[in-house]
Amino acid sequence: MLICRVLGPLQVTAGSTTVDVGGPQPRRLVQALALARGAPVPEDRLAQAIWGDSPPAGPAASIQAYVSRLRRVLPAATLTRGPGGYALATRCDAADFEALLDQARTAARPAEAVGLYGQALALWRGRPYPDLDAYAEAGRAHLNGLRATAVEDRAAALLAVGDAPAAVTELLPAVQDEPYRERRWEQLILGLYRSARQAEALAALRRVRGLLADDLGVDPGPGLQNLERRLLAQDPSLLLSATLRPPTPRRPLTRFVGRRTEKDLLTAALAESRLVTLVGPGGAGKTRLALEWAHDAALARLADVRSPLDLPSAIATALGLAETPPRFTGISGLLVLDNCEHLTGAVADLALTLLADNPDLRVLATGREALGVDGERLLPVGPMPHPDAVTLLADRIAAVRPGWHPDPVETDEIDRLADALDGIPLALELAAARARVLSLTELTGLLGEHFPALGRVPRGALTPHATLEATVAWSVDLLPARDRAMLLRLWPFEGGFTLEAAGAVGCDLAGLSSLVARSVVTADTTDTPARYRLLEIIRAYCREHDPAPADSRAAHAAWARDLVARTVPDLRGRRSARAMRVLTRELPNLRAALAHAPAESLRTTAMLEWFWVRGGHAAEGLRLIALARHSAPHAPALDRAWALSASAGLHWIGGDLSQVRHDVQAALTVLGEPEDDEGRRLLGQLRYYEALLWIALGDPSRGAESARLSVELAAATGESWFGALPQVVLGAARVAQGDVEQGRRILRDAVGQAREHGYGWSGGFASLLLARSFLDDDPAAAFAPLREAAAWFREEDDTGQVLSTLVHGALALFRVGKPLAAATLHAAAYAEAGRRGIRLDNADPPTVTALRAEVEALDPEVRDRAVQAAVRIPVDELPQMLTRT
């Protein structure tokens, strides 16, 4: 194969032989043909490439002479002539570079992308097409642009895999090479911060701010400004590596021992079947085996999912989706469903649907019994063989006894311990943890004592469960009385808990530290704040042996209600992104608390309305609100009215206008004439929903009146954060009434109010509706508010609204005569929405309908070009397309 390397000085090879193509003119000829990527090049274009504006007399004869010389040194039939001119059949490093970039952008994992970007960038040796000068200017600029973006994309991938030091090493020279590319500075500052070099991160921030001001007279863009705010506030999320891919489960730090046979069987089973279930008793190590074999797979932890109705949400979380779709499609690779035993039937039904809808998906499940699905392959995970059990026990004892080497007596005791514990990995782990304070002889002596059973032996158990139950009981009973009492109160927490949460049920820092040290509680200190979790088998033991389980459950529910009361107010202001992260992280706990005490949680469930909306949990929110309303029919009228108002808001998201109307009217009836500010605030919210409803039903006059009343009530109660929203709706209503300029003025005032008070989402909503008002009569004027809306929503971490803004931008581009750019933005937005499980057709229906008509009217070739171009645009750069030029 002929290979031309043009990313630097020309190099031509045929197989392993270097080809000398001759002097400057033949080199230019070869590079011009390589630039064409196999397409024929007419003689006049070749003459321009070889001699520029000063060709010799009769250039065709000279070109033929050069071609003849080249054919003597090149492989046969590689340089040909046809009706369109000369063509060169060659592989080119520039094409290889672009192909590697395409692979990197679509890589399944950031780690894979790092390698692909590295391979692509390693192809560069200097200036592309160095001998062609002006002739290759466009192609050279294209390649240089791709290379600049690839440098940043590789840095982003390094940050995503947690290798911040490597990212910093590559970014330091990169910012020197192109100092005005702000994305590089953002990545460098973030990499320094994650490398524990905070002072250098701040210094880099000051350096780029000064550079932009001194050289260009401008302030940093929104990305750098947002990073600066978060850096100065020491935002904990800066330490987390964001990725659009499903989060990779953390593998335990302890050494994995044994299970070689099971891993080989698992490899064979998943090669033959798309559904494999690891079955075995609790504590046998099914989860650890699954994680070791499929450490890069999406992992759905189902232990904390109590209702079959919550299964889809857990799957969406495992896949990294922002919302739970009505049906999962387009999934490939491997999905691990861990701890299925308490939801066997529901998981079986879901697995069947997932596999039917996604032919490239495989599922690995773990549980104490089979799912019972046709085509399922079972792989039993029983006790470890005795030699492996001895190895595991000795390894874990050595971890808690630095420098320890067993003497002959201890070797015999380890052998007895491994035998007595039936080779159950969890029992061995717990026994080893006790070796920190007890001799091995004392440990084997304790095994003869009686310990209470943990519960009924589950169906399908491969070994008697009593041995493991006794091991757990023994581990808990060895705790000091104070620590044991605290442990027994921690069982209500689902999905883990923080130190602050543990304090709500009476567990302090000293006690929690002791429980972690004794391995009955696990700690994840890679997150901030640190998160703690009980092993499920220990949690079950605590639930059954807590002397006051009702009190523990009530304390947990009270903590959850207090957390909501403290966090929800931040959802509207400058701390909204942090509030969303807190509530999302604690969602399993919120579900448990709300379901446990629905009557007491009526107000709390309603307060979470905005979280249900922003987090894509509208269906779950409606279900919990309905449960709370049913459980508290005689709750105070204000609480019942709040619940009805929240129900109206969630039904609005789902597009059920008749139910919105019913809930609003019911809430107004229950509320009556409010007597205090809280009641008037609720009345203002109801008038806001009423305004939205009337506008959607085609009566903007009544919508404007309801919005005006809502604005007045917000002002009367001092709720400026709420007043911005009905003001936005009032502006939209005025536009719909035909008073376009008045409506736009109101919308601009709402944007200013949001900016003044830091109400990011309200500002984005106002900017989006302002842009929408221009789409019909002055689409070019829509771009500025669209860019502002996208910036607001990006800062709020509301990807769904960012993509909705891009959809409106695509329509604006169509209407200013930019069909290719419009179709590209449309394709990119919908592709990203599909990856994240976001339903963009829930955006403004007239806009979606008009945009679909524009796309369908396109020439198929233009549509195909748009789809191909959309794949190459990084997600973060999509808002930059919101411009007419």
- 764/478: higher pLDDT: 764
Would you tell me how many other CB atoms lie within 10 Å of the CB of residue 245? 17
Phi/psi of residue 519, nearest 5 degrees: 65, 20
Question: How confident is residue 800, by pLDDT bands cut at 50, 70 and 90?
Answer: confident
Residues 248-266: what's their mean pLDDT? 76
Exposure string for 648-671, b = 16+ CB within 10 A, e = fewer:
bbbbbbeeeeebbbebbebbbebb
Question: Is the predicted pLDDT of residue 282 greater than 70, yes or no?
Answer: no
> Using CB atoms within 10 A of its CB, is residue 874 exposed (0-12), middle (13-18) or buried (19+)?
middle
**Paired residues of 534 in beta bridges:** 521
As a whole number of angstroms, the distance between CA 419 and CA 411 comes to 13
Query: Bridge-partner residues for 459, per DSSP?
Result: none
Q: Is the pLDDT of residue 864 over 50?
A: yes
Percent share of the chain, pLDDT over 70: 91
Give how far Cα 461 sits from Cα of 243, 249, 280, Å: 39, 27, 6
Rounded to the nearest 5 percent, the helix, strand and coil shares of the chain are 65, 5, 30
Residue 372 to residues 278, 351, 352, 382, 852, Cα–Cα distance (Å): 13, 11, 11, 19, 44
What confidence score (pLDDT) does residue 22 get? Answer: 87
What domains can you pick out in the chain, each with its CATH number? Answer: 2-94 (1.10.10.10), 114-121+135-239 (1.25.40.10), 260-380 (3.40.50.300), 386-477 (no CATH), 481-560 (no CATH), 784-881 (no CATH)
- Range in 561-565, 566-570, 628-632, 875-879 with the lowest mean pLDDT: 875-879
- The DSSP output letter for 383 is P
What is the four-CA torsion angle of 121, 127, 130, 134, rounded to 10 degrees?
120
Residue 446 — very low, low, confident or very high, per pLDDT cuts 50/70/90? Answer: low
The enclosing H or E element of 68 equals helix 59-73
What is the rounded average pLDDT of the residues 399-426? 80
* Stated length of the chain: 885
Q: How far apart are CA 324 and CA 495, in angstroms?
A: 19
Q: 115-129, 201-215, 324-338, 367-381 — which is least confidently predicted?
A: 324-338
Which secondary-structure segment (H or E) carries 111? helix 110-122
Decide: helix, strand or coil at residue 361.
strand
Q: Return d(Cα 723, Cα 728) in angstroms, integer.
A: 9
Per-residue pLDDT at 241? 35
Q: Is residue 674's pLDDT more than 60?
A: yes
The answer to which of 59-73, 85-99, 432-446, 851-865 has the lowest mean pLDDT is 432-446
pTM of the model: 0.54
How far apart CA 155 and CA 148 sit, in angstroms, is 11
Asked whether residue 459 carries a pLDDT value surpassing 70, the answer given is: no
Element (H, E) at 388: helix 386-400
3-state SS string for 335-359: EEEECCHHHHHHHHHHHHHHHHHCC
pLDDT in tens, 448-458: 543 333 233 33
Q: Of 753, 765, 845, which Cα lies nearest the Cα of 805?
A: 765
Residue with the bigger pLDDT between 679 and 797: it is 679
Strands (DSSP E) contained in 230-344 are: 275-279, 298-301, 333-338
- Identify whether the C-beta of residue 478 lies closer than 8 Å to the C-beta of residue 469: no
The predicted pLDDT at position 243 comes to 34
Read off the pLDDT of each residue in 732-756 and give the average, rounded to a whole number.
Answer: 87
Asked if residue 283 has pLDDT above 80, the reply is no
E-assigned strand segments in 483-520: none
Q: Is the pLDDT of residue 724 over 50?
A: yes
What's the CA gap between 447 and 476, in Å, rounded? 14
Q: What is the mean pLDDT of residues 332-346?
A: 85
**Mean pLDDT of the residues in the chain:** 83
Strands of 791-839, DSSP E: none
| pLDDT tens digits, 545-589 | 899 999 999 999 999 999 999 998 887 767 777 888 898 889 899
- Give the residue from 320, 344, 594 showing the smallest Cα distance to 459: 344
Asked if 187 and 156 touch (Cβ cutoff 8 Å), the reply is yes
Residue pointed to by tokens 């989402």: 761
- Cα–Cα distances in angstroms (integers) from residue 214 to residues 173, 183, 200, in the given order: 21, 19, 21
> Average pLDDT for residues 496-507, to the nearest whole number?
90
Please give the Cα distance from 112 to 279 (Å, whole number).
Answer: 32
Closest CA to 587 of 342, 864, 324, 807: 324
**pLDDT at position 460 over 50:** no
